[in-house]
Structure 1
């Protein structure tokens, strides 16, 4: 299996697929703290995606505390291990992205709360 496999026919946007894959590679230890990630241009060329798509991914990962960018040097893994309750931050990121997508669909915050509660009930059984 290739390090990065993107599915253009998936309902998940390419940038989210790439971001989730990089998060997994960092969380699983494939990339460790201090490791340099491929440059935005190199990764875009390797995956045959737009430069701005990869740049958006790196910006998102930096915002979420996975990497840090150093102008002229590249992007480096700088993962914060876990938040105060010991839950990995990537779970929070995934939940936040799901909520953001629901809101983009036109759902209200109240709609999201109701559906989330109903979905959780299914897992509690």
Structure 2
């Protein structure tokens, strides 16, 4: 358990077409599920993260609230925000970071109203684009 926050291992691509908050959310989830942030490790404050990444405080705050609700972090008033393993308690919790990212992708597509068949087609299309 680290009481000092680690260096931020996040880059934001403003030209990617992916919303900044989603890039940040996905990267933080990856850093937690991959073990970069172990359970109990302190994360940067919302303000530190916003300044270091050059993005709006409210954007970072929204992401922290979102991933706290999903069990990836826990905030302790006056002490900070810490990586948490609450996400593992879900019956369908991912076994590894790649599964976790796939789960997040699927959830985001569903929130956008993308039908199941279109999600599969989208992944296949992006895989082909990445190969060629």
TM-score computed with the length of structure 1 as normaliser: 0.76
Match of 2:84 among 74, 78, 81: 78
| 1:114 positional shift | 4.3
Query: What is the match of residue 55 of structure 2?
Result: 49
Give the unaligned 5+ runs of structure 1.
none
Query: What is the match of residue 36 of structure 2?
Result: 30
Query: What is the match of residue 115 of structure 1?
Result: 118
Give the unaligned 5+ runs of structure 2.
1-7, 126-132
| 1:95 positional shift | 1.3
Q: Distance in 1 between matches of 2:12 and 2:122?
A: 28
Aligned length: 114
Could you tell me whether the CA contact under 8 Å between 2:109 and 2:119 is conserved in 1? Answer: no
Match of 1:92 among 80, 99, 103: 103
Rg larger for: 1
TM-score computed with the length of structure 2 as normaliser: 0.72
Match of 2:14 among 8, 19, 39: 8
| 1:11 positional shift | 1.1
- Shift in alpha-carbon separation, 1:32–1:9, aligned structure 2, 3 A: same
SS in 1 for 2:42: coil
SS in 2 for 1:12: coil
Cα RMSD, aligned residues only: 2.7
The one of the two structures with greater contact order (alpha-carbon pairs below 8 A, sep at least 6) is: 2
SS in 2 for 1:76: strand
